[in-house]
Structure 1
Amino acid sequence: MNIALIAHDKKKNDLVQFVTAYQNIFSKHTLFATGTTGHRISEATGLPITRFQSGPLGGDQEIGAMIAKNQMDAVFFFRDPLTAQPHEPDVTALVRLCDVYSIPLATNMGTAELLIRGMELGMLDWRNVIKENGEVNEG
């Protein structure tokens, strides 16, 4: 599965700790991340991560493009709801795309725990069925 990892500045440590704690699960998947977040996770875990631009420089939109092409299976986006983000329209667009394409999205630690445990139990295997049946939107 293709998994996106994104975190606002004040949530980066939380996401690094989360991926480190569940490294055994994340290691079985293909990981994508925005710039600094991907760098920090890769340094902490040694996991291979395809890195995009930082969020404000277009990384959110790059991940959004993968979602729109049905090439992303889950998104872990640890958002900081207490700090204004200069690229908030991009954040909103990314969340909207997850809703449009039914891509599981965890925006906080509680939901992330449920999503990662569900992945571990095979509860996202329906994504593979969609791809096998040719339901992937190639753009």
Structure 2
Amino acid sequence: MKIALIAHDRQKPLIVKLATAYQPILAQHELFATGTTGQKIIDATGLSVKRFKSGPLGGDQQIGALISENKMDLVIFLRDPLTAQPHEPDVNALIRLSDVYEVPLATNIGTAEVLLRGLDQGLMAFREVVHDQDSNPINL
């Protein structure tokens, strides 16, 4: 599965702890992240992470584009709900796209942990169905 890891500045230490704790699970999947978040995860865990631009510089939109093409299966976006973000419209667009394309999205550590444990237990099979539909489109 393809997993996006994103965190606002005040949440970066938390996403690094999450990636460290769930490194064995994450290592089995293709990881993507916005710039600084990805580098911090790489430095702390040694995991292979494809890095996009920083969120405010378009990284959130790059991940959103993958979501819109059904090329992202899970998003962990640890947001800082108490700090205004200059790229808030991009953040909202990414969340909206996750809903539109039915991509599981965690915006806090509790939900992230549930999703990663579910992934480890094989409870994300519905994403395989989505990919099967993409490779076998119905022609009307």
Normalised TM-score (structure 1): 0.95
- Counterparts of residues 2-21 of structure 1 (less than 5 Å): 2-21=2-21
**Which ranges in structure 1 are unaligned for 5 or more consecutive residues?**
none
- For the residues of structure 2 that align with 1:33 and 1:71, how far apart are their CA atoms? 14
Give 1:135 deviation, angstroms: 5.4
Aligned partner of 2:66 in structure 1 is 66
Summarize deviations over 1:71-111 as a string: whole Å, max 9, x none.
00000000000000000000000000000000000000111
| Equivalent residue, structure 1, for 2:81 | 81
Per-residue CA distance 1:3-54 (angstroms, 9 max, x = gap):
0000000000000000100000000000000000000000100011000000
CA–CA separation in structure 1 for the residues paired with 2:136 and 2:55: 25
When the two chains are superposed, the root-mean-square deviation of aligned CA atoms in Å is 1.3
Moved more, 126-135 or 34-43: 126-135
What residue is the counterpart of 2:32 in the other structure?
Answer: 32
Aligned residues: 137
User: Alignment partner of 1:25: what SS?
Assistant: helix
Judged with a 3 Å threshold, the aligned counterparts in structure 2 of structure 1 residues 17 and 136 are, in CA distance, closer, same or farther, namely farther
Structure 2 Cα separation of the partners of residues 110 and 124 of structure 1: 17
> Any stretches of 5+ residues in structure 2 without a counterpart?
none
Partner Cα distance (1:102, 1:28) in 2: 22
Q: Distance in 2 between matches of 1:107 and 1:98?
A: 11
Secondary structure of 1:134 counterpart: helix
- Partner SS state of residue 44, structure 2: helix
Correspondences of 1:49-60 after superposition (within 5 Å): 49-60=49-60
CA distance in 1, matches of 2:37, 2:127: 25
Deviation at 1:59, TM superposition (A): 0.0
| Per-residue deviation, 1:132 | 2.5
In the other structure, the counterpart of 2:42 is 42
**Percent of aligned positions that are identical:** 61
Whether the 8 Å CA contact 1:70–1:136 is kept in 2: the answer is no
1:117-138 Cα shifts (integer Å, max 9, x gaps) = 110111112212221343589x
